[in-house]
Amino acid sequence: MNTAHKVQIPERKAFLREQIIKILPALNGKSFQMVLSSNLNVADCTRQTGYVCMVDDVLYVIEAEAEKAHYPLKDLTEFHANSGIGEVSLECRHKDRLLVLCRGDMSHQSEYATIAKRLNHYRETGLWDPQYDKTYNRYCPKCGRKYRHGSNICMHCVDKKKMFARIWEIASPYKWTLFLSILLFLVITGLNMINPYINRVLVDDYITPHAVGAFSGFCMVILSMLLLHLAIKGISIFRGMALISAGNKIIVRLREMVFDKVQMLSISKISKRTAGEIMQRVTGDTAEIQNFVVYRLSDIIEQSLIFVGISIMLFVTDWKLALMIILPIPLMSLSFRLFWNYINRIYHRQWVIGAKANTILHDIFSGIRVVKAFGMEHFEMEKYDRVTYEESEISARNEKFYSILNPVVNFFMQSGEFFLLFYVGNAILHGDMTLGEMTQFSTYVSMLYSGPVFLIANLQRQMTRLFTSVVKVFDLLDEEVDISDSTDAKNIKIEGNISFDNVHFGYDDATEVLKGINLDIKPGEFIGIVGKSGAGKSTLINLVMRLYDVEEGAIRIDGEDIRSISQECLRSQIGVVLQETFLFTGSIYDNIAYAKPDATREEIIAASKIAGAHTFIMKLPDSYNTKVGERGHTLSGGERQRISIARALLHDPRILILDEATASLDTETEKQIQDALQQLSKNRTTLAIAHRLSTLRNATRLIVIDKGKIAEVGTHEELIRMQGIYYNLVMAQRQMSKMTHDNDRDAKKPAVS
């Protein structure tokens, strides 16, 4: 069923070709221009393997092991992928009728979308874009399972040895510290092994009824025991210090690596992951690795040494007894593990419901205004009560279960010692063993049972946790930096000319947001961008900032393709104010000075004044030193926006981008800022997006974007005369403001574009 997926490009292409030739032998030896597979029946959407291929500009559709139809490419137009919720189909127009070529489940989504694009391109230009091979190369070559979106590690076939090598790569600068701590381990283990022996000497030679040793010897033994303990404790302190210092260095290094990587990645790579996920990788997963290197690894070494050491000692003393002790260990580990697995299972349920209760709490507290405004306090209280009650029920049941089962398991685990006691006691009675030997023996046994048994039982779980973290961290570290500076990236001084040359772009393969934008902006122009929500306005400016790279065509600044300008140079000369303003934790001063830390206080005040922020800042008790952001002073939407305008102005950019920058301001304030901006924008290029058209009245040119294309370009007057989309928008807004003579603050809340 899935075999078609299990082969990778170009092997996959070859595999599909073979399958097709089996069904249509006539195509053997011909060159295939394109192949793709389908796994759903076109008519009734049931599972069925099929293929589509193109040979000599003829498309063959194969379904149910037979040719269903073939169409000359010249009869087919308008290829597109139509995605439902659980299926996707490749559709086109055959002469005048709509036609479904093939259908597949969602795993075919990007494949069909890409092929549709390429087929259209081929039909129009006669050229076959080789790029299409890359896009759906998402199968693991080893097991054929699909990679996670945006990842290039197959979690299923991760090479553990390689992962250990990667961990070592990070730990290696600290190898001497680690080596030292392992050496200290050896010493401690050795000393620990001596202790039972001294015990034996003490018992056998000095404190039995027929003791032969002298009192001075007795004192020596006690003294040596004391020294031994002192030595062990002293060395332990050193070991701990060595380990902690190595561990801290490792985690700092790892976090730096992950953090730097995240900063390097483009928005498109980052936005594939949630902020929480990245936080987890920077903090949680790196901590897990540190935890392993510092504690688990040393644990494993220590316990293995103890295990080997004690086993040797036991076998030397009495091999029969040793076998009796060591043979049950795997069995005990296994039963202990089963017990833990069961306990985990029942506690998992408790954890799930606990998390649910937390979510409810979080919801209530962060939405407390809504809860109170709708008078839903009682409803929320009941909801929370119900969950906590459920949680307490489960918890009580689990505790009861645990308190019954735990002693039982412990009893069984310790029952071995009774057998031992019986055997050893018997040996002593028969004079085969001394009391001291018994003490030594039982100390070894308890050391063995308390350490290695637990270790073996838990080892696998710990390793799984480690590998989960390691894989996740390296998955991120190995992420290819997709928007990178070319080796000969230039640093230029931007004049402000921006030209779009047939720009195509989509956030994913399936949907194209911008479909061929052509535009030339002269330095110093104020360009207003208008259009419906979702038309592609914000996308356009994201491309200018090069948060994403264009798919087709090019954006040039002063004649240079922005891909050949270094990113730092580009962004340092672009100032941006977005609708969602983000203030970092810190003072207002810090926030304004963010992009220009060496700005003078005077400059900051001037920028604030132009942005219309100075007046309200000076009304705050702490003025520019007011703390904002998390746990700081709460500012209104308009105030935050003015601070971010000041931030952008201070940056003194050659290109200023305003994405709904003044949307949360009242018209009065907006006008003031607009006028100030106009003064400033005389020799800088400004791109402004606004829904409220009055915002753009200073614009030298307006651009109307509709469905990913530029629909209208011109000055306000020209566009009004055209009586097109812009005209309708203006009329609608005029009507609106006529109806509500109020400030248009209430009249029109702009939608997020």
What are the residues binding other proteins (CB under 8 A)? Answer: 1-2, 40, 42-47, 84-87, 97-100, 105-107, 109, 145-146, 148-149, 155-156, 158, 345, 348, 352, 464, 467-468, 471-472, 707
Closer residue to other proteins, CB minimum distance, 156 or 400: 156
Question: What angle is formed at CA 726 by the lines to CA 721 and CA 729, rounded to 5 degrees?
Answer: 120
* Structure token digits, residue 621: 């008790």
Minimum separation from the CB atom of position 133 to other proteins (A): 19
Minimum separation from the CB atom of position 385 to other proteins (A): 19
Minimum separation from the CB atom of position 332 to other proteins (A): 26
Closer residue to other proteins, CB minimum distance, 249 or 272: 272
Spell out the residues 6+ positions from residue 480 whose beta carbon is closer than 8 angstroms to its own.
152
Minimum separation from the CB atom of position 471 to other proteins (A): 5
The structure tokens 């700081």 sit at: 632
Q: Are 499 and 555 in contact (CB under 8 A)?
A: yes
Rounded-to-integer distance, Cα 296 and Cα 462, Å? 8
Spell out the residues 6+ positions from residue 671 whose beta carbon is closer than 8 angstroms to its own.
none
Closer residue to other proteins, CB minimum distance, 2 or 450: 2
Spell out the residues 6+ positions from residue 162 whose beta carbon is closer than 8 angstroms to its own.
none
Minimum separation from the CB atom of position 597 to other proteins (A): 40
> Tell me, what DSSP letter sits at residue 505?
E
Minimum separation from the CB atom of position 745 to other proteins (A): 23
Question: What angle is formed at CA 655 by the lines to CA 651 and CA 656, rounded to 5 degrees?
Answer: 70
Minimum separation from the CB atom of position 345 to other proteins (A): 7
Minimum separation from the CB atom of position 496 to other proteins (A): 36
The distance of Cα 573 from the centroid of its chain, to the nearest Å, equals 30
Minimum separation from the CB atom of position 2 to other proteins (A): 6
Closer residue to other proteins, CB minimum distance, 97 or 161: 97
Minimum separation from the CB atom of position 65 to other proteins (A): 17
Closer residue to other proteins, CB minimum distance, 86 or 130: 86
Closer residue to other proteins, CB minimum distance, 46 or 679: 46
Question: What angle is formed at CA 295 by the lines to CA 294 and CA 299, rounded to 5 degrees?
Answer: 125
Q: Are 339 and 411 in contact (CB under 8 A)?
A: no
Spell out the residues 6+ positions from residue 324 whose beta carbon is closer than 8 angstroms to its own.
419, 420, 423
DSSP SS3 for 138: coil
State how far the alpha carbon of 461 is from the alpha carbons of 452, 465, 705, in Å.
15, 6, 55
* Structure token digits, residue 399: 């505790």
Spell out the residues 6+ positions from residue 720 whose beta carbon is closer than 8 angstroms to its own.
726, 727, 730
Minimum separation from the CB atom of position 17 to other proteins (A): 23
Alpha helix ranges (H) inside 451-536? 452-477
Q: Are 641 and 665 in contact (CB under 8 A)?
A: yes
Please return the burial class of 95, using the count of CB atoms within 10 Å of its CB with bins 0-12, 13-18 and 19+: exposed
Closer residue to other proteins, CB minimum distance, 196 or 708: 708
Rounded-to-integer distance, Cα 664 and Cα 334, Å? 64
Closer residue to other proteins, CB minimum distance, 143 or 618: 143
Longest CA span, the chain: 121
Closer residue to other proteins, CB minimum distance, 281 or 296: 281
Please return the burial class of 403, using the count of CB atoms within 10 Å of its CB with bins 0-12, 13-18 and 19+: exposed
Q: Are 32 and 24 in contact (CB under 8 A)?
A: no
